[in-house]
Structure formats: structure tokens, C-alpha cells
Amino acid sequence: MAFISAFDVLGPNMIGPSSSHTAGAARIAYLAQKMIAPPLKKADFTLYGSFAETYRGHGTDRALLGGIQGFCEDDVRIRASMAFAEDMGLEYSFTPDFDETEIYPNTVDIRMENTAGEVLTVRGESVGGGKVRITRINGVEVNFTGEYSAVIVIHRDRPGLIAHISKCLCDRGVNIAFMHLFRESRGSTAYSIVESDGQLPDGIREDLFKNEFVYNVMIVPSDER
């Protein structure tokens, strides 16, 4: 018999009519904006499947825009996220894509640009009940849910990097729950994603950057609110 939790029956605390189309959408964008230095200048959303078909009626557009501004899925400001975006000077667009059909139904690609000119693209999927998974970063296939604190290390794919990452975390007393390596190709850019049982301590980024082949470090805290 499959286990069914109270969360599955009651659903998440959220603003909006649908756990998949609003809560999940807000959650994807909320995770995405944690991966790039603020403030954001522009956010472009490409919607696929049922997201593309119903994004206005189900409030997916407001949820995505709220999440990208750092509003959690139960934040009442989501209802007025477009007004908040206008006030902060955030440019945004929503583009439904009906051509790409071999894709998970509730999928969004988010292209973010901050005021420093940095650009980051993230693909996320809303899998039901407000739960999500991030499946691409800058076009590289990845897989993490945001349910744990995560550190995402972008680095050269070469011997010793995983040992360096593990040692940095060990030295700071971080207990690793999951660790995955994704790469563009052998010897090219790689993404190491480490998920931790607890919040990540200060100083992790600086430790990781001590290796010359580490290009970028993203810290994505869990939602212990």
C-alpha cells in the first residue's frame, strides 16, 4: 500500500487555486531567484504544456512573478506581484510554447538577468501538491527539489574537484544528504549539487572558491521559516 501523508491530502499552504499551477509555479521561481545575485533586472518565462494553456486563469503568471521576487507560495503579495514588479522596475514576459510537446506538462524555463549583467537560465517542473524539481541550469541537465539546503558548485570537470567540495563541507561540519554530479561533457563545465540535512554555515562559498577550477557557487537554503 502506498503511503499517503497529510500533506498529500490537505495540500500546501498557498495563495491561488491550484497546488500545481500556482504553488508549484511560485516555488520554482522562488528557488530560481536564489541562484543569482540580486537585484534582478529582467525575468522571462517560457511556459510549456498545461502551464502554457492555463497560466492566466490559474494565476501561474502571478505566482511565477511573485516567486521570482522572493515571495513564498503562501505570501499574499503574490496576488499583486505584477504591481510589485512594476514598482521595483522589474521587466518580465510570459511566452507560451505549444510546439515543444515531449516535455513534462507543468514546465517553465526562466531566464533571469540581474543589474550586474549576469544571466542565468533555469528549467523547473511542478510535479503536484506544490512539490517541484529543478531539471536544468544553463542548459545542463540537473535534478534537485529544493527540499534540502543545497550548494551548487559550477566547476571544471577534472580530478580532485569532488574531493575538494567534500572536504570543504566536512571541515564545516556539513552532513551530506545527497550529492550529484552533472556535466556538459567530459572535461568541460560540471555542476556538483550537494544537498544537506541542515542549513549551510557561513564561509562555505569562500572555502569552495579556493580551488582555481571553481567558477561559481550558489547557495540555496531550505525553507526553515
Condensed to tens digits (0 to 9), the pLDDT of residues 36-71 reads 999 999 999 999 999 999 888 888 999 999 999 999
pLDDT, tens digit, 9 for 90 and up, residues 201-220: 889 999 999 999 999 999 99
What pLDDT is stored for residue 19 in this prediction?
55
Q: Looking at residue 78, what is its pLDDT?
A: 92
C-alpha torsion angle, residues 214, 28, 225, 168 (rounded to 10):
-10
What pLDDT does residue 221 have?
Answer: 86
Average pLDDT of the residues in 163-176: 95
- Is residue 164 within 8 A of residue 211, CB to CB? The reply is yes
Per-residue pLDDT for 15 more than 70?
A: no
pLDDT of residue 65: 97
Cα 118-124-128 angle, rounded to 5 deg: 155
Q: How far apart are CA 45 and CA 7, in angstroms?
A: 28
The verdict on whether omega for the bond into residue 159 sits within 30 degrees of 0, i.e. cis, is: no
For the chain, give the percent of residues with pLDDT over 70.
Answer: 89
Q: What is the pLDDT of residue 18?
A: 52
User: How much is the mean pLDDT over the chain?
Assistant: 89
